[in-house]
Amino acid sequence: MALKLNPVTCPSLYTFPFIALPQSNNTRSYRVSMASTLHSTSRGVENQKKKPFTPPKEVHVQVTHSMPPQKIELFKSLESWAEDNVLVHLKPVEKCWQPQDFLPDPASEGFHEQVMELRKRAKELPDDYFVVLVGDMITEEALPTYQTMLNTLDGVRDETGASLTSWAIWTRAWTAEENRHGDLLNKYLYLSGRVDMKKIEKTIQYLIGSGMDPRTENNPYLGFIYTSFQERATFISHGNTARHAKDHGDLKLAQICGIIASDEKRHETAYTKITEKLFEIDPDGTVLSFADMMRKKISMPAHLMYDGHDDNLFEHFSSVAQRLGVYTAKDYADILEFLVSRWNVEKLEGLSGEGRKAQDYVCGLAPRIKKLEERAQAKKKPSSLVPFSWIFGKEMLV
């Protein structure tokens, strides 16, 4: 196994602020937590002056290329399978919705009127809803990071930027589909007049500059498990912002969030299908990877968000999302439960001893998380007010 440890600065893992997920000592990856570094408060102004870019909050040793090189061949051999089974989940551009389908048309006579209507509807939505919608939009807008992440994966990366392998075609077209999500939400929020666009734009720039560390180790087994999880998480989250918009009487915004959620669902189908295939070909390797990812916890893609003010911005945003029921610790456990059943993990046979242990671990994890979450919720109620720069410094309960 070609395992290389890179002691370079990297972001910390962030999963969910409300629960301590069960950990196991038996991890396949070498992980070391190191001291946290820099946001504005931690190392002082002088240090920051010397560095034009603030490095991510925390560092740990990064693991690279953890998949044995011979397994790269497995992904090459799946090329035509991917063409027939994965690329079919992309939508031809001509059949795709575009952000403009859901926004006032700047070339039309009625543009100003349409904008006024949009703003009137937006007035009915509470500030905490906007905090969550902005957080979701910022997450979508960090898309360059996610395309980069997919192209770190051995055996499936886009080697040239215009590679004709099925894997590369998928990644580019997936990125192009995703690009509409941030675009639509960004334009909607701009027109709504409810949020501080400059602070939001700064947050996006910080976030893309910080990157993310999903700890997928250039390993497509880990990478596709991560993306399966994340597509479902975004499907849930956008679905819930749609539901809230509808409850507040804004059917157009509900449609915007709903159409994005339906893309996420289609992407979830593709990524879970890839992982299902890996379970079929290599059940032992795949269940070990699944357990490895869950032990490390699935970090949220925007876990390094920063707006230049709040060192705990992601935790605060997540707390509001939890309070509103847009994305909760229970959702995390539900996604895990869904994936265990989607991939028939309980019924896997012929596993090695290690594989059986990994199987037991992932199959027993969701109920354990739920129990811990219930206890944590009983103890911790949102109790402090925190200002959010995105909504002009208004304070929200976190």
Active site amino acids: 97, 140, 178, 181, 231, 234, 263-264, 267
How near is the Cβ of 178 to Fe ion at its closest, in Å?
A: 5
**Which range binds Fe ion by CB under 5 A, 47-55, 65-73, 263-271, 374-382?**
263-271
**Which range binds Fe ion by CB under 5 A, 190-198, 260-268, 272-280, 327-335?**
260-268
Whole-angstrom CA distances from 325 to 41, 236, 320, 328 are: 31, 10, 8, 6
Q: Which residue of the chain is nearest Fe ion when measured via CB?
A: 181
When asked if residue 178 is in the footprint of Fe ion (CB under 5 A), the reply is yes
How near is the Cβ of 346 to Fe ion at its closest, in Å?
A: 27
Q: Which residues contact 262 (CB under 8 A, 6 or more apart)?
A: none
Residue 346 marked in a binding site = no
d(CA 355, CA 367): 20
Helix (H) or strand (E) holding 36: strand 33-36
- The DSSP bridge partners found for residue 397 are 385
Residue 231 marked in a binding site = yes
Residues in contact with Fe ion, counted by CB under 5 A, come to a total of 6
Q: In angstroms, how far apart are the furthest CA atoms of the chain?
A: 69
**Which range binds Fe ion by CB under 5 A, 7-15, 58-66, 162-170, 175-183?**
175-183
When asked if residue 264 is in the footprint of Fe ion (CB under 5 A), the reply is yes
When asked if residue 180 is in the footprint of Fe ion (CB under 5 A), the reply is no
Identity of residue 134: V
In this structure, the number of other CB atoms found within 10 A of the CB of residue 351 comes to 15
Residue 373 marked in a binding site = no
Query: Closer CB to Fe ion, residue 62 or residue 240?
Result: 240
Residue 178 marked in a binding site = yes
When asked if residue 267 is in the footprint of Fe ion (CB under 5 A), the reply is yes
Tokens of 267: 């992407």
First to last CA, the chain: 45
How near is the Cβ of 128 to Fe ion at its closest, in Å?
A: 22
Find where tokens 């038996």 sit. 26
How near is the Cβ of 231 to Fe ion at its closest, in Å?
A: 5
Query: Closer CB to Fe ion, residue 63 or residue 168?
Result: 168
In this structure, the number of other CB atoms found within 10 A of the CB of residue 377 comes to 15
When asked if residue 183 is in the footprint of Fe ion (CB under 5 A), the reply is no
d(CA 24, CA 146): 28
d(CA 193, CA 116): 10
Relative to beta strand 394-397, strand 385-388 is antiparallel
Residue of 28, 60, 181, 215 that binds Fe ion (CB under 5 A): 181
How near is the Cβ of 333 to Fe ion at its closest, in Å?
A: 21
When asked if residue 158 is in the footprint of Fe ion (CB under 5 A), the reply is no
**Which range binds Fe ion by CB under 5 A, 50-58, 111-119, 180-188, 282-290?**
180-188
How near is the Cβ of 137 to Fe ion at its closest, in Å?
A: 10
Query: Closer CB to Fe ion, residue 304 or residue 398?
Result: 304
How near is the Cβ of 177 to Fe ion at its closest, in Å?
A: 8
- 276-296 CB burial, b ≥16 within 10 A, e <16: bbbbeeebbbbbbbbbbbbbb
d(CA 331, CA 370): 9
In this structure, the number of other CB atoms found within 10 A of the CB of residue 4 comes to 11
DSSP-derived secondary structure letter, 350: S
d(CA 280, CA 349): 11
In 3-state terms, what secondary structure has residue 274? Answer: helix
Residue 181 marked in a binding site = yes
When asked if residue 141 is in the footprint of Fe ion (CB under 5 A), the reply is no
Residues of this chain, 213-232, that bind Fe ion according to CB under 5 A = 231
Query: Closer CB to Fe ion, residue 178 or residue 331?
Result: 178
Residue 309 marked in a binding site = no
Which residues fall in the annotated binding site? 140, 178, 181, 231, 264, 267
Binding residues for Fe ion, per CB under 5 A? 140, 178, 181, 231, 264, 267
Which residues fall in the annotated binding site for Fe cation? 140, 178, 181, 231, 264, 267
